[in-house]
Amino acid sequence: MGGASLLKTWVLIISLSLTSLVSFQAGAENLSLMRRWVVFPFDSDTPANKNSAENAWWKTRERLTLSKKYLVASRQFLIQKDVFQPRKNLNPDDVKLLAHLLDADVVVTG
């Protein structure tokens, strides 16, 4: 798979994820349930995809902070808490622990 098509695939995946996230947000915004977000760097299977994963992570954070409705943990905050690392899957116990440690309402991985 070429670099351009791989990037298009990443963008499509992120776009679809954000689209479903936005539709989910519509119901939750009325209740103000999700204010504090943590978006972990996205994991990539190969070093060639690392740059695409990094760009997708930044775009996701940018999209969430654009409306100024959400507080998104900064890179520096995650580094200070010693949790800054790419993550793919988290089990429920890890989500509870990280959400408590970071005082987050939403934990996002990719």
Residue-wise pLDDT for 11-69, tens only, equals 545 554 555 555 455 555 544 678 899 999 988 888 778 888 888 889 989 998 888 88
CB atoms within 10 A of CB 13: 13
Query: Is the Cβ–Cβ distance between 84 and 78 less than 8 Å?
Result: yes
Between 99 and 24, where is the model more confident? Answer: 99
pLDDT bin (cut points 50, 70, 90) of residue 103 is very high
Instruction: Please state whether the predicted TM-score (pTM) of the whole model is above 0.85.
Output: no
Higher pLDDT, 44 or 104: 104
| Residue ranges making up the domain that contains 18 | 3-108
- Split into its structural domains, the chain has a count of 1
